[in-house]
Amino acid sequence: MTALRSLSQGVLRNRVSFNNAFKQCDNFNGKPLRNKHSLFDKYFSTNTGSSYRSKWKLWSCVIGTGVLGSIFLFNKQKYVLNADFPGQSIPPTKQIRFDEDKTNLKLTLFQFVTCPFCCKVRAMLNYNGISHDVVEVNSITRKEIKWSKYKKVPIIIIEGVGEDGYLQVNDSSVIMSLLESHLFDKSVPLEKLSTYFPVIEKKTGGRFFSRTVQECPNKNFVMYQEHLSDKRTPEERADERKMRIWVDTVFVHLISPNVYRTPREALDTFNWFSTAGDWETNFSNFQKNTIIYIGAFVMYLVGKKLKRKHNLQDDVRTSLYEGGDTWVRNLKGRKFMGGDHPDLADLSMYGMLTAMEGTEAMKDMLSHTKIRPWFERTKKAVNDHEGAHRTRDLSVP
């Protein structure tokens, strides 16, 4: 423990040097290397002078701190005790209350504050003025969701539902569809509604390395009872589903390569995450700095991998601008995808964009595409909780 703290203090003391190393890496970003070893030799060889040896020591300290810190924090999980009911022993990070809330729902959202999928759910809750508690999950230990077999976020817990006294809903699209279905017809118990979103498990991977993934085929469907329907045409509902799928499977992959485009942008992004998520309050100083510095380093590399995986343009900003232009084209001159009011596609896209709102990538996107007017309209609708005042248009088929 003492050694670990010494390592972490070393990182903090050398923060300026670390930032300079990021700047040096920026100089090489996008430039062809003379040979496949030149960048490695430049920064990690011990035969190129004391300056580079210092950088090698710095990187070793950073990476070592991350590994040891992760092991320490992972082992620490066994001392975290949760009650059978997941909300009982975990105090909420914050409590969001809206005067407009008439749903009588008691919700707890387990999230990473800047996770795009969590931002989608928050946009939907805020738009509809649904009060909820928030539990910020530590992205390293995930101790706050140790009680759950499902280890991703977001997770919503709805209290007072079902035999166990609560209903756990996983996956951002399922959460949004389930709650929207409930808002259209509150006479149907949430426990029954949840059965309309069955989960199928399947194994992916090769012969020796495989994992089980969960998929819900109906996750983008809003469920209406036989005696009710909204006033949209089947084509309009299909359009909403199509754009929700596009946001989740296409646009989301443009975010990481852009917000972590360079080491400097990666570090700036994590510093913004820290401010937006109030990490100063929610995590210890050691945890916060471990997440920021190790996270920035790792996500810079991840961003490069995702760029190749999804065949993005050499300048990933071009792909981001194309994504914004695609969204604007599909608006077809309407205020929102949902017409006069945001629908779940609007809230999904808006949520994704708020995940990068404080980054250089977001500023560039608003400047180089025509998405700003729609974004500002949707932001106002969400902040004014317009969904809480809107009467759902229902008809009898």
Q: Is the pLDDT score of 33 beyond 60?
A: no
Highest mean pLDDT among 132-141, 143-152, 218-227, 243-252: 243-252
pLDDT tens, 131-151?
Answer: 999 999 987 788 889 888 888
Q: Are residues 72 and 91 in the same domain?
A: no
CATH number at residue 97: 3.40.30.10
Total-model pTM: 0.78
Q: Are residues 199 and 109 in the same domain?
A: yes
Q: Are residues 67 and 159 in the same domain?
A: no
In a domain, 244, yes or no: no
- What's the total number of domains in the chain? 2
pLDDT of residue 80: 32
Q: Which of 79, 104, 125 is the last residue of a domain?
A: 79
Q: Are residues 74 and 91 in the same domain?
A: no
Q: Are residues 110 and 226 in the same domain?
A: yes
pLDDT of residue 184: 87
Q: Which of 168, 197, 230 is the last residue of a domain?
A: 230
Q: Are residues 119 and 143 in the same domain?
A: yes
Phi, psi of 164 (to 5 degrees): -85, -5
